[in-house]
Amino acid sequence: MSPARPTDNAFLGPIRKASEESTFAGALSFMRRRYSRDLTGIDAVVWGIPFDASVTNRPGARFGPQAIRRASAIPSGDPQYPFGFDMFEELAVIDWGDCAFDPGFPMEMAATVRAEAEKILASGAFLYTLGGDHFVTWPLLQAHVARHGPLALVQFDAHQDTWDDDGNRIDHGSFVARAVKEGLIDVEHSIQVGIRTHAPQDCGIEIVWGHEVETLGVAGLVECITSRVGTAKTYLTFDIDCLDPAFAPGTGTPVAGGLTSREAMMTLRGLGALDIVGSDVVEVAPAYDHADITAIAGATVATMVLGLVAERRRAGV
């Protein structure tokens, strides 16, 4: 009789090493990483922000962290594609769980996110966040900038999110404008990729429009991003609606003409030269998804970025 496979790696498994757990069994965490609040010796933290009170169209992104964790179980035991090595032998990664806030007081959410993110970042760990709608990136930027100074923003998105903001509203379509006004974003080294809508202002951020991606190709797109960012410390935010609705139907404001999942993943793969100090994937809304297509894409985006971090550590960068 063959030995039983381990279960519940999320509670009992090692911090390092990929999971051997069956995809269809066990407690779900991101990539079967152990749930923990102990930051001792930890290189990277994944956490969720189940918030969608700032959406302007379809709600549901509050369920995004759950869906992404569920989808991440699929590749959790393999050498991660396309890196070809077990990133968890290079990075000690934990799942922090979700940010806790009172949904009855949405205006207080941002301060809660910032405080908890600053606590994690103070340990020196890399923080990867599962949204939630795109407003959550604003307090995350505040926390990262408090540690690193103003950051280049690499934003994969269908929308510029630069609508005017008086500083009091909570709106997933204006967080970039607010962050620029606050000096969080180094606009001279920032770029938005896959944009397929128009906003009144660009805030000085370079735009690669959705229709330009086909002409540029992946290699050209990688060159645009890396040449714009250079050596600046970078925050990478990925709104899942950057992808065409064929590849990400489960989102609040889908826009036709987006990137394919392959274009997005191979572009991310080419960004290993960037000094990415924080990242998120947002706007996964599983109620509109089909067969976990969008959740799988979201989990893959997160895995790709963590793979880049692991690869740089492996190379001693």
Give the three-state DSSP class for 278.
strand
The backbone region for 303, taken as left when phi is positive above 0, alpha when psi lies in -120 to 50, beta otherwise, is alpha
Cβ 309 vs Cβ 44: under 8 Å: yes
What CA–CA distance (Å, rounded) separates 80 from 238?
19
Binding-site residue ranges for Mn(2+): 134, 157, 159, 161, 239, 241
Q: What is the DSSP letter of 272?
A: T
> Tokens 């926390």 map to which residue?
143
Element (H, E) at 194: strand 191-195
Pairing of strands 152-156, 191-195: parallel
What CA–CA distance (Å, rounded) separates 142 from 232?
17
Binding-site residue ranges: 134, 157, 159, 161, 239, 241
Element (H, E) at 208: strand 206-209
